[in-house]
Amino acid sequence: MKALIIAWKDVVRRFRDPRALLFMLLTPLVIAFIMGAAFSGQENDNSPVYAIPLVVFNADEGDLSAEFLDIIANIEVKTLEGKQPLFVLQSVEDETLAREQVERGEASAALLLPANFSHALQAQDAPTARLQLLTDPTEAVAPLVAESVVRRVALHFESAALGARLVIGALAEQESAVLSSPTTIALAVSEAAAHEAGHARIQWQEDGLGAARELNLINYFMPSMAIFFLMFSVFSATRSILVEEKQGVFARLLTTPASRAEILAGKMGGALFGGWLQMAVLVLASTLLFNVCWGDPLAVALLTLVTVMAAAGLGGAIAAFARDDDQANLAGSLITLVFAVLGGNFIPLHNAPAWLDALSRLTLNRWALDAFSLLSFEGASLPDIGQHLLVLGGMSLAAFLVAWWGLGRRFAR
Amino acid sequence: MLTIAFYYLKQTFRSRTVLAFAIFMPLLFTAVLGVAMKGLGPDEAPPRWVLLLADEDRSLWSEALIAQLENEPHLQLQRVSADEVSARVAAGEAAAGLLIPPGFSAALEADQPASLHFYYYIPQALDAQVLSQTVQTALTSLEGALGARAMAAQVLETLGLPAATWPSDQVIADWETERRLEVRSESLTRLAETRIPIGAAHASPGMLVMFVLFMTLGGGSSLLQEREQGTLRRLLVMPLSKWALLGGKLLGIYCSALLQMVIMVLFGRYVLHVNWGQDPIALVLLLLTYAFASAALGMMLAALVRTAAQLSNLSTLVVLALAALGGAWWPIEIVPLWMKNLAQFLPTYWGMQGFEDLIVRGLGLPQILPEAAALMAFGLLFLGVGVWRFRFE
């Protein structure tokens, strides 16, 4: 009972402090929102890039290059802001100007159409026309999209050109009189090319796998930031044992009817209750504010329980062996940051090499984040995260035993 | 002023806490994020995306499609069975997989729609989009050959002439040999080596931009601590104006930021093999102006809050938000338009743009002057507000 009173007093004090609330609640919500918003363009069927600035230098004076650019300018993609043009074209009169714009980062790419563009497609034995796409090296996605689109539109034009050549070959074989009427052939080719342009021969079926629900990356970053800031606040709570030791509060508490074990249990309990409350508020607030899907409520509750226990146990162990509260602060902050970067709190470690992946699994952050992701993205239930709960439970038990033994020794003196 | 700045520096870099958070931690973050985002080291091959492929048709047209895909420099094909494609993609073992079902070729020859199944791993949607675009480009090529044949047949029909036959292998051969347009793509950089900034080349400047802010906001917090402990008041009894005192402190914060940046640049250059550009003067100018903007921001925040504890709690939010919004954590090109527009009002954005100009574009002093000017302007604005609002007591 006395332990509960001490724990409750610590929780109330922490949650009455506006600065602590800023750090425990507002900061993770704001940062998770920014992270989720940054990647929101990639969710569902949305194109992550659009309105790509494309500067064009057209040295060709034929009709086909104008038609080519017209097609590119009219491509639209689905985005968060509705249908948007994929490219924003800007014509320049000089190749150097086009280069300079890309170099300065004012355009993602420059498309240079050669003077023989139309001739290469129309004449029987014309040399190949070389289209150049100059891309901004600081961008990863837009240049690839631009290259892919330019290639595909070029292929459509080449297809029409080959079709025309096949026709002329057939007419020559048949020694047809139509050969003497190029206008008639051109009209027929143009009509057939227009028909072909809208004719898709291959049905492209895309299936997203690996997530049962819609991909909303805030569902990853919200648990991620919640765990990160949970560790800071829980470590701060366990460090308060050392602050009270330094200020003599602990010694004064020992003069009350409360035993040393009850006081320590109360302080550790305060860290636990505070952590659970913090996580509960973050889960509720993010659900209401950002529509974050945390998944099966029972599984989320249990996972939160063991995650906070593991963090509090670790905080207790740090407090048990630190020389003073300053050293505990330093060690706690270092462990929080190292665990966060190794555990995937800042960047998902899907592409990490095996050694980093293995190192990552030594952190409570990784196990908790993996389990939260399973619940959120895969719609997993309690049995699916059994292994994660066991590992986190094991970490909690080990950390609490070490903390209890260490704190007991420390305050026995 | 110089003496105050020197003592600030000495005191700061003597502290184990500062060494841990301002030196060790940024280096660790840079290294881990660089590895996690790939691209660490100069000898690594350019990124290739693995595409699982199951060909259940084994026909002329499926082989033609595979031949197209094999010519794609970005792709690495891995042949698997039909069952494995979706299973391995669902398990996250590859970003995407392609299944060519039986009857693909027969449908194409009969001018009927032929199906292709593309599976992608949702958590790696960005990689999958690149793969999808690449496969669809190869498909467009296949459709180009088929379309040419169909178009020719239609023209003959329109002209009322007898139909001709063009065997598929002949059409594929004609398509491959008689190309009329060639698209060449070139990444425009003045550096000898082109690297998309997705690994250490992004993490190195990104973490520099972020951790310098922690350093300078920590400096602002130390000013407030001195005010709370009465040290500032005691220092004012010296034959020194209060503005000279503040200037000395600011100079110390500025120099500590510069020192931290130099260590991070050297770590990036010699440990992570990041090419920090070919114009050292431009790099120095950017470091000087970014440190100035950061130190002034620390001063301004110190002037706007009441206590060191307040600033300490606020600084985590401010630094993380500025770093994320300014493009220090991810390439700014992937964020929505409203975030790109917002970023232009932040010093972190201009810092990142300047560093990318040097590291990736290989530009020099004349080209980074706009970024340096923007950082100077931010610095002057922050400093003006800071000096105006700072209270010594």
- Which of A44, A64, A202 to mutate against chain B (most B CBs within 10 Å)? A202
List, in sequence order, the alpha helices (H) in A177-259: 182-197, 218-247, 249-254
Question: A96: Cβ–Cβ under 8 A, 6 or more apart, which residues?
Answer: none
- Looking at residue B211, its pLDDT comes to 95
Answer yes or no: are the C-beta atoms of A49 and A80 closer than 8 Å.
Answer: no
Q: Who among B171, B184, B325 is closest to A34 (CB)?
A: B325
Segment B51-80 mean pLDDT: 90
Q: Who among A38, A144, A210 is closest to B335 (CB)?
A: A38
Q: What is the pLDDT of residues A111-126, one digit of tens each?
A: 999 999 999 988 877 8
B118 at the A interface (CB within 8 A)?
Answer: yes
Going by the DSSP 8-state scheme, the letter that residue A60 receives in this structure is: -
Going by the DSSP 8-state scheme, the letter that residue B58 receives in this structure is: -
Residue A202 phi/psi, 5° resolution?
A: -120, 125
CA distance A236 to chain B (A): 13
- ipTM surpassing 0.90: no
- Burial class of residue B193 in the structure, from the number of CB atoms within 10 Å of its CB (0-12 exposed, 13-18 middle, 19+ buried): exposed
Segment A377-397 mean pLDDT: 92
CA distance A189 to chain B (A): 6
The pTM of the full predicted model, rounded to 2 decimals, is 0.80
Segment B6-31 mean pLDDT: 86
- CA–CA gap between residue A119 and residue A128 (Å, rounded): 9
Chain B (328-387) residues lying within 8 Å, Cβ to Cβ, of chain A: 329-331, 333-337, 339, 353, 356-357, 360-361, 363, 367
Look at A89-98, A380-389, B80-89, B242-251 and tell me which has the smallest mean pLDDT.
B242-251
Q: Could you tell me what percentage of chain B is helix, strand and coil, using 3-state DSSP and rounding each to the nearest 5?
A: 65, 10, 25
- CA–CA gap between residue B235 and residue B241 (Å, rounded): 10
Angle at the Cα of B215 (from B214 to B219), degrees rounded to 5? 115
Q: Which two tokens stand for residue A146?
A: 């631009």
Look at A191-200, A399-408, B96-105, B149-158 and tell me which has the smallest mean pLDDT.
A191-200
Q: DSSP readout, A126-187?
A: PPPEEEEEEE-TT-SSHHHHHHHHHHHHHHHHHHHHHHHHHHHHHHHHTT-GGGG-HHHHHH
**Residue that is written with structure tokens 């059994």 in the block:** A386
Q: What is the pLDDT of residues B10-20, one digit of tens each?
A: 888 888 888 88
pLDDT(B248) > 70:
yes
Look at A129-143, B180-194, B203-217, B361-375 and tell me which has the smallest mean pLDDT.
B180-194
> Bigger pLDDT: A241 or A352?
A241
Look up residue B178 and give its amino acid. Answer: E
Q: DSSP readout, B147-197?
A: HHHHHHHHHHHHTT-------HHHHHHHHHH---EEEEEEE--SSSS---T
Residues in B touching A333 (Cβ below 8 Å): 21
B271 at the A interface (CB within 8 A)?
Answer: no
**Cβ A128–B111 below 8 Å, yes or no?**
no
B105 at the A interface (CB within 8 A)?
Answer: no
- Side-chain half-sphere CA neighbours of A70 within 13 A: 6
Look at A172-176, B273-277, B386-390 and tell me which has the smallest mean pLDDT.
A172-176
Q: Could you tell me what percentage of chain A is helix, strand and coil, using 3-state DSSP and rounding each to the nearest 5?
A: 70, 10, 25
* β-pair partners for B276: none
Residue A82 phi/psi, 5° resolution?
A: 85, -165
Look up residue B301 and give its amino acid. Answer: L
CA distance A398 to chain B (A): 27
- Looking at residue A215, its pLDDT comes to 61
**Cβ A41–B316 below 8 Å, yes or no?**
no
pLDDT(B198) > 60:
no
- Looking at residue A282, its pLDDT comes to 95
Look at B72-76, B239-243, B287-291 and tell me which has the smallest mean pLDDT.
B239-243
Strands B49-55 and B96-100: parallel
Confidence grade of residue A41 (pLDDT, cut at 50, 70, 90): low
**Residue-averaged pLDDT of chain B:** 86
Look at A63-67, A207-211, B203-207 and tell me which has the smallest mean pLDDT.
A207-211
Residues in B touching A161 (Cβ below 8 Å): 148, 180
Chain B (199-258) residues lying within 8 Å, Cβ to Cβ, of chain A: none
Answer yes or no: are the C-beta atoms of B96 and B127 closer than 8 Å.
Answer: yes
Helix (H) or strand (E) holding A123, with range, is none
Nearest chain B residue to A360 by CA: give it.
B32
- Looking at residue B39, its pLDDT comes to 47
Q: DSSP readout, A324-378?
A: SHHHHHHHHHHHHHHHHHHHTSSS--TT--HHHHHHHTTSHHHHHHHHHHHHHHS
Look at A65-79, A168-182, B132-146 and tell me which has the smallest mean pLDDT.
A168-182
- CA–CA gap between residue A286 and residue A207 (Å, rounded): 29
pLDDT(A172) > 50:
yes
Nearest chain B residue to A17 by CA: give it.
B310
Answer yes or no: are the C-beta atoms of A230 and A311 closer than 8 Å.
Answer: yes
Q: Who among B29, B111, B141 is closest to A341 (CB)?
A: B29
Question: B291: Cβ–Cβ under 8 A, 6 or more apart, which residues?
Answer: B212, B216, B254, B257, B258, B261
**Cβ A105–B353 below 8 Å, yes or no?**
yes
Residue A111 phi/psi, 5° resolution?
A: -110, 120
**Cβ A215–B125 below 8 Å, yes or no?**
yes
Segment A261-269 mean pLDDT: 88
- CA–CA gap between residue B390 and residue B162 (Å, rounded): 91
* A&B contacts, CB < 8 Å: 354
Residues in B touching A163 (Cβ below 8 Å): 147-152, 155
Segment B247-274 mean pLDDT: 92
**Cβ B36–A193 below 8 Å, yes or no?**
no
- CA–CA gap between residue A338 and residue A213 (Å, rounded): 31
Residue whose C-alpha is closest to residue B288's, from B319, B257, B264: B257
**Residue-averaged pLDDT of chain A:** 87
**Cβ A43–B121 below 8 Å, yes or no?**
no
Neighbours of B43 (CB within 10 A): 6
Highest mean pLDDT among A44-53, A164-173, A294-303: A294-303
Residues in A touching B129 (Cβ below 8 Å): 42, 47-48, 141
Going by the DSSP 8-state scheme, the letter that residue A45 receives in this structure is: T
- Looking at residue B45, its pLDDT comes to 45
Q: Who among B29, B151, B334 is closest to A141 (CB)?
A: B334
B120 at the A interface (CB within 8 A)?
Answer: yes
Nearest chain B residue to A68 by CA: give it.
B181
| Cα dihedral B361, B289, B13, A336 sign | negative
pLDDT(A310) > 80:
yes
- Which of B25, B69, B181 to mutate against chain A (most A CBs within 10 Å)? B181
Segment A177-196 mean pLDDT: 75
Strands B114-121 and B75-79: unpaired
**Cβ B337–A81 below 8 Å, yes or no?**
yes
